[in-house]
Amino acid sequence: MTDIFDDLQAEYEQLDAVLTALTATQWAHPSAAAGWTVLDVVLHLAQSEELVAAAIAGDELARPPGDVDAVADALVTAQRDIAPAALLARWRTAAFATPGALRARPKGSRLSWVATSLSPATLATTRLAEHWAHAYDVTAPLGIAYPDTARLRHIAWLGHRTLPYAFKIEGVEGGPVHCELTAPGGDLWRFGDPAAESVITGPAADFCRVGARRLAPADSALKPTGPYGAQALAVLRNYAF
C-alpha cells in the first residue's frame, strides 16, 4: 500500500476542496447522516480530529458512558452554533496537523484511543476511513462528485483486519475470510488467506461502503461464498476503535 500518512493528507485535501466551495445554503442542508446537517458532519470531524491531537499529546482519552453515536450526537448538539467559516478553519487546524504529527511518532509507539491503543499508522487509517465516509454524507445529498481513489485500499484493509473483532462483538460465529476486491483503477486487491473456505469478491468501493454502513450488503455488487462470507458482510464495519 502507498504511504498512509500521505494518503491521509490527500483525503483531507480532497474534502477541503469540497468544503471550501460550499455555499451557506449547502452548509445548512441535511446530510446523509440522519439528523445532522452538513455543518454538523464537519463539526463532528473537527471534534474527533481534536481528540486525535489530544492522543498524540499523550492525554488519556476516557470513553464517555453510553452509545458512541449518542455521545457524538451530544457533542455536536452542544457546539453546533458556529459559523461555517469558523468551523472550516477549526477543522483545517486540527486535520492538517494530524498526518505529520502521526508520522513523527517513534516507531513502535502506541496512542491511547478511546477504549484501546493504536499504532500511529492504524490511527491514521481510521481517520482516513471516517473522513471518507463522512465525505459521502456531505457530498451525496448535494450531488457533488467525490471520486473513489486507490486510498480505499487502506479502508478495505481495515474492514478485513477487524472482521474477527466484528464477529466477536456482534455475537456471530465467524472464521477466516479471503477477499478479492476490484480497485477503482481496476487492480485486484487481496486480503486474507487465499486458502480460506469463505471468500468475498466484488468492488472495493462497495466493500468499503458496506463497512461504513452506507450500503446494505444486499444492495452491493459483492458476492460472498463459503460458511462465513455472508456473515462477514453482515458484521463488516470500518471500526475506528
pLDDT in tens for each of the 241 residues of the chain? 579 999 999 999 999 999 999 999 999 999 999 999 999 999 999 999 999 999 999 876 555 555 778 889 999 999 999 999 999 999 999 999 999 999 999 989 999 887 788 999 999 999 999 999 999 999 999 999 999 999 999 999 999 999 999 999 999 999 999 999 999 999 999 999 999 999 999 999 999 999 999 999 999 999 999 999 999 999 999 976 5
Give the model's pLDDT for residue 65: 56
| pLDDT for residue 61 | 59
The one-letter amino acid code at 42 reads: V
pLDDT at 101: 96
- State the number of CA atoms in the 13 A half-sphere of 160 facing the CB: 24
How far is residue 147's CA from residue 234's CA, in Å, rounded to a whole number? 25
Output the pTM of the full model.
0.94
Task: List the domains of the chain with CATH numbers.
Answer: 4-142 (1.20.120.450), 152-235 (3.30.1050)
Nearest to 135 by CA among 10, 45, 241: 45
Q: Residue 67: its pLDDT value, please?
A: 72
- Find all residues with CB under 8 Å of 9, minimum gap 6, and list them: 96, 99
DSSP the chain: ---HHHHHHHHHHHHHHHHHT--HHHHTSB-SSTT-BHHHHHHHHHHHHHHHHHHHTT---PPPSS-HHHHHHHHHHHH----HHHHHHHHHHHHTTHHHHHHTSPTT--EEETTEEE-HHHHHHHHHHHHHHHHHHHHHHHT------TTHHHHHHHHHHTHHHHHHHHT-----EEEEEE-TTS-EEEES-TT-SEEEEEEHHHHHHHHTTSS-GGGSS-EEESSSHHHHHHH------
